[in-house]
Structure 1
Amino acid sequence: MDTMSSEGTVNAKYTAQAWINDHLGELLDWHAHIWELAEPAWREYDSQAWYVQKLREQGFEVEDGSAGMPTAFSARWSNGTGPTLLTYAEYDAVPGNSQAATTTEAPRGELSRFAPGHTDPHSALGISTLAGLLATKHAMEIYGITGTLRYTGEPAEKMHGSKVVHGLRGYYDDADAIVSFHPFYMLPLCNTARWDTQCGAYYSKVYTFACDEPETWQLSSVDPHSPIPASHSAARAPGANLALTQMLSASRSMLDSMLPATGGWSFTDAILTDGQATADNLPQRVARLQFSWRTPDIEMAEHILEVLDRNALAAAMMAHCEVDQRWVARSRPGRTNHVLARTLYDILAEVGPPSYGPEAVALAQEVQSNLGVEVSEHPFLPETEQLIEPEEAERLLREQMPAWQRNWTSDDYVEMSHYAPLVRFYVSRPALASVPGAGPYPGWVMNALGGMRATIAPTIITAGKTISGTFLELLAHPETLTEARNEFDVRVDAEPMPALLAADFEAPIDLPWPDYRINRANGQRRW
């Protein structure tokens, strides 16, 4: 059927919610599996393979390795002619954050504490959207609701990796609406939907310095009669490491001159570790430096880019190197859609906020006790169990920002919002309230709570039911999708923002990103 009665829509929503309740144990098993894998960006091989297999078992057609990205996928299930609705999974973890699902600080298993761990956690992001997807499919089958469900696997979110590539290749073009979920990570955006202030621009680029002709550095130091230069005593080319350090120090020292002192922006760097170690009498052949920057708008991002490109050329010339520049991501600020934001938030209000039961409270109190802080009767941050209207969250968010600033922080959902109407919403993850005089909790606490079944279950339940309810509402009321598309078109016409990368841009999967080494004989993973 193309439309449903109000009673039929309500029944379909209840059926979807019941599916999530009935399968909660299985969903938590799935979450624990992805959480324990904790594979880093562009190297999420086992996590992606699990999703591909699970979706095929559930009747989806799945493209494995979509858009040329081995750890991405694109899945589709159709129940006849009707709207196409899309949501997605993320599953990348962050190096240096290995944490067991325990109430004390400890890495997982025998791994180094510098192995990756789920910080946001993307493990819950993916299983929550999968729960909503499968619950929607179940209700569509029961009630004969027509339409198509799309589900994409998005690797390397922390680098804004896959969504820009999927977008350029047309993977979002047929979507009538996109629902983007993330576990809450900053107040006031907790149990709400974004309203006007979306995430801003994000640029990330790798500069590779290569010293391929060290012999041309100082010809007079080489004995012309010897086939092998006296390399211990000859003048030696500075090499790639010098280029890297010069680039790093010059760019860091210029931060105050890159952007205004007000407004939300960030600038980070990472050294990719291949080629720096070499013999003591040879120049370093290659060194790679990644810079990533988040800005409220494209103009600021472009200014930083100009500075970095100049610095790279100067550092390469100084060190007798060539420099290669490789984009990782170049994302536009997001587009708002009030129609979808209001529709989803109304469903979230029907579902209600997460609630932490006695087992979750006991685990949180055990964390407090192990840290030596006063144990709270209600240890969780109050906002995690409260709803906040999108307009009120917007008002509080604007209080933290200069009046001129339109966007805040960054996330790669923004690229999806340029291809179809999109709503971005948040459901609380387990977070503890501060204890007076104790200071902030160490980072491992939130990571650990994100892996415990009793503490992460409320996130998965609430987000999954919100997604299924929103999908079923939109399928029952295609006129809402028409309104959302009209709003989308008006916003695009008012402020065109063409893609910032070429249509044939390829994901930088070949760069030496951090990875696990797996013993294929016994499956043991080492960092």
Structure 2
Amino acid sequence: MSKDTADRWIADHAGDLSAWCARIFDYGEPAWREYRSAEWYVARLREEGFEVEEGSAGMPTAFCARWSQGDGPMIGMYAEYDAVPANCQAPVPWEAPREGLGPLAAGHTDPHSALGMGALAGVLATKAAMQAHGIPGGLQITGEPAEKVRGSKPLHAAAGYYDGLAAMLSWHPFYMLPLCNTVRWDTHCGAAYAFVYRFRCEAPQTWMQGGEGAPPIPQSHSDVRAPGANDALVMMYQMGRSLRESMLPHRGGWSVSEAILSTGQATADNLPARQADLQYLMRVPDLQMAEQITAQLDRLAEHVAQVTGCTVEKIWVSKSRPGLPNHTLAELAWEALQDVGAPDYSTEALDLARQVQTACGAEATDDPLIPECTRLIAPQEAEAILRRDLPPAQLNSTSDDYTDMCWHAPTARIYIGRPALRGGPYPPWAMNALGGIPQLIDPSVQTAGRVLSRTALRLLTDETARATCWTEFEERRAANPIPPLADYPAPVDLPWPEYVTTARGRHWHIPG
């Protein structure tokens, strides 16, 4: 059977998958700066016979790879590989940054290193089975940078990269209960908007002018000047937080997060800071809520700019749509997950987990992982638990930009268990280490690959299943159509943190 062939491919390449996953984990590159990671995927896929477009949709660290044999449906999957600043952790059961770096460098938290490798395993195992059994059709895998700021998928969607797919298979290492070893049912992730306000103090000398025709202020360091960009940033940050409760009604789950991208480039001199960038990322159930918060922040930014003698520019990072369910495809993925089962952890893996518990000052337990890591939960049961804390009218919850794919092809969202410790609370490094130690994360990668390949092979060979998925997709999309929202270029020129190579070696760098 074709699924057995796919399983054998994964078993035969278990060592390769482990080494590849460890490499991406070690790269630990953050949003929009995943140069080595993207380069590795492009080279690997070309070696496997895929035609690869680099820099897809204007994103230097994105790609789109396709392979096909004969006429048939095209199944899509995707890799993510961005890491998170200030989460640098080595794949060891104690707190330690990766070699040559400090703890404030980027590291994988979810981990996307495993997410991308599980998708690659699924694609290559499916390809091997298609070749061995003469199954017509094709496979597409896109490289999706900057997921942590919801960056690439809205841009890929707007550029048509998901059009023409028979289905899209999305998987993620579990990050919240009850979504562990299951498939999302009705309540998919919600909308997300992200943008940067860039405050510039370009004419500080005009701050004290009384109006048209007023004499200029002498250009002396001791004269009063505009407050400048740093004051604008601080004022925007503080007022935005103090007014947050007035931006939306107190119902449903929503959040707004800030990140300071630069700090004004001021020296120790008494000159006003010339530029400062403040990023907002909002996670909301629907687009109406996103537009409401955006309007409030826009109004506030304009007033702050006036008060501090600055101008303000708004730079879009993401406009991501809420998700769209597809029960037919979710059932197919759930059948595959039941066939494969949850990840299984070796004695060595469990011993390493106990070492992490001990290093955190906790007591090592006989069974160090939470029970959800190794058992399945039916999608409908997980849905019922998820809905307990949500208002009945709220259709979407939490945030991830796979949702943009849902509007172009039937999409299944699969969650595979990853190691999580009993007890706690534990410091962030512990979860990051568990996501990098091969003995603990490899079971997630292999399980994901097997589930994805089974689901893909079912779609490739079952015309009735494909047609049923597509009929449901068209009906749901037609009920409330939302076109692509990304009407902005990839924000790759913002001062995102990155690694740089100097005469002193490779270092973590926060640009100014």
Give the TM bin, normalised by the shorter chain.
over 0.9
Does residue 442 in structure 1 map to residue 427 in structure 2?
Answer: yes
Contact 2:101 2:507 in 1 (8 A): no
Find the aligned partners of 1:371 and 1:281 in 2 and give their Cα distance: 45
Answer yes or no: is 1:324 the counterpart of 2:313.
yes
Q: Describe the SS at the equivalent of 2:367.
A: coil
After TM superposition, list the pairs within 5 Å mapping 1:310-459 onto structure 2. Answer: 310-434=299-423, 439-459=424-444
Q: CA deviation digits over 1:300-351, x for unaligned, max 9?
A: 1111111100000000000111110111101111000011000011011001
- Residue 113, structure 1, aligned to residue 103, structure 2: yes
Q: After superposition, what is the alpha-carbon deviation per residue over 1:408-442, rounded to whole angstroms, capped at 9, x for unaligned?
A: 100000111111111101001111112xxxx4111
Check if 1:299 corresponds to 2:309. Answer: no
| Equivalent residues in 2 for 1:79-90, closer than 5 Å | 79-90=69-80
| Bigger Cα displacement from structure 2, 395-404 vs 492-501 | 492-501
Q: Equivalent residue for 2:474? A: 489
The secondary structure found in structure 2 opposite 1:16 is helix
Q: Helix, strand or coil for the counterpart of 2:407?
A: coil
* Alignment check: 8 A CA contact 2:498 2:508 kept: no
Residue 297 of structure 2: which of 300, 308, 311 is its match? 308
Task: Give the alignment partner of residue 262 of structure 2, picking from 273, 279, 282.
Answer: 273
1:516 aligns to 2:499 (yes or no): yes
- Quote the Cα distance in structure 1 between the aligned partners of 2:33 and 2:379: 36
Within the candidate set 139, 152, 165, 1:149 is matched to 139
Shift of residue 522, structure 1, vs aligned partner: 5.7
Tell me whether 1:74 sits opposite 2:64 in the alignment: yes
Q: Is the 8 A contact 2:73 2:460 kept in 1?
A: yes
Residue range with higher mean Cα deviation, 396-405 or 356-365:
396-405
Tell me, in whole angstroms, the C-alpha distance in 2 between the residues paired with 1:386 and 1:277. 54
Contact 1:421 1:485 in 2 (8 A): yes
State the TM-score, normalized to the length of structure 1.
0.94
> Hey, what's the Cα distance between the residues in 1 that align with 2:388 and 2:338?
24
Per the alignment, residue 92 of structure 1 pairs with: 82
Which residue does 1:240 correspond to in 2? 229
Contact 2:360 2:427 in 1 (8 A): no
1:454 Cα deviation after fit: 0.5
- Is 1:473 equivalent to 2:461 in the alignment? no
- In structure 2, C-alpha distance between the alignment counterparts of 1:59 and 1:315, rounded to whole Å: 54
Q: Distance in 2 between matches of 1:251 and 1:236?
A: 25
> Which structure 2 residue ranges, 5 or more long, are not aligned?
none
Shift of 1:369: 2.0
Query: 1:199 touches 1:414 (CA, 8 Å); kept in 2?
Result: yes
* CA positional deviation for 1:246: 1.3
1:90–1:126 Cα contact (<8 Å) kept: yes
SS at match of 2:348: helix
Which of 116, 133, 137 pairs up with 2:123?
133
**Once the two structures are superposed, what CA deviation does each residue of 1:270-322 show, in whole Å capped at 9, x if it has no partner?**
11115332352322111111111111111111111111000000000001111
SS of residue paired to 1:153: strand
CA RMSD of aligned residues (A): 1.8
- 8 Å contact from structure 1 (residues 518, 526) kept in 2: no
2:188 paired residue number: 198
CA distance in 1, matches of 2:267, 2:467: 61
8 Å contact kept, 2:154–2:485: no
CA separation of 1:395/1:124 partners in 2, compared to 1, >3 Å: closer, same or farther? same
Task: Report the identity percentage.
Answer: 53
Compute the displacement of 1:499 (Å). 2.6
- The alpha-carbon deviation at position 232 of structure 1 amounts to 2.2
Cα distance in 1 for partners of 2:362, 2:377 equals: 29
Query: Cα deviations across residues 96-120 of structure 1 (Å, max 9, x unaligned)?
Result: 1011111111111121111011000
**In structure 1, C-alpha distance between the alignment counterparts of 2:414 and 2:448, rounded to whole Å:** 9
Q: Which residue of 2 aligns with 1:13?
A: 3
Q: TM-score, normalised by structure 2?
A: 0.96
Partners of 1:525 and 1:232 lie apart in 2 by: 35
Q: For residue 176 of structure 2, what is the aligned residue in structure 1?
A: 186
Give how far 1:473 is off.
Answer: 0.8
Match of 2:12 in 1: 22
- Structure 1: how far apart are the matches of 2:383 and 2:173? 18
Q: Residue type matched to 2:314 in 1?
A: Q
Structure 2 CA distance, aligned partners of 1:525 and 1:330? 29
Change (3 A) 1:473 1:153: same
1:165–1:507 contact (8 Å) kept in structure 2: yes
Structure 2 residue 495 is the aligned partner of structure 1 residue 506 = no
Contact 2:266 2:274 in 1 (8 A): no
1:216 aligns with 2:206: yes
- The answer to whether residue 250 in structure 2 is matched with residue 261 in structure 1 is yes
Distance in 1 between residues matched to 2:34 and 2:353, nearest whole Å: 30
1 CA distance for matches of 2:340 and 2:310?
59
User: Contact between 1:111 and 1:526, CA under 8 Å: does it hold in 2?
Assistant: no
Q: Deviations over 1:372-395 (max 9, x none)?
A: 322111111100100111111101
2:97–2:103 contact (8 Å) kept in structure 1: yes
How far apart, in 2, do the equivalents of 1:501 and 1:53 lie? Answer: 29
Decide whether aligned partners of structure 1 residues 261 and 219 sit closer, same or farther in structure 2, where only a CA change above 3 A counts. closer
Distance 1:524 1:217, change over 3 A: closer
**Letter in structure 2 aligned against 1:472:** L
SS of equivalent residue, structure 1 residue 50:
helix
Q: 1:226-249 deviations in whole A, cap 9, x for unaligned?
A: 9x9452221111111111111111
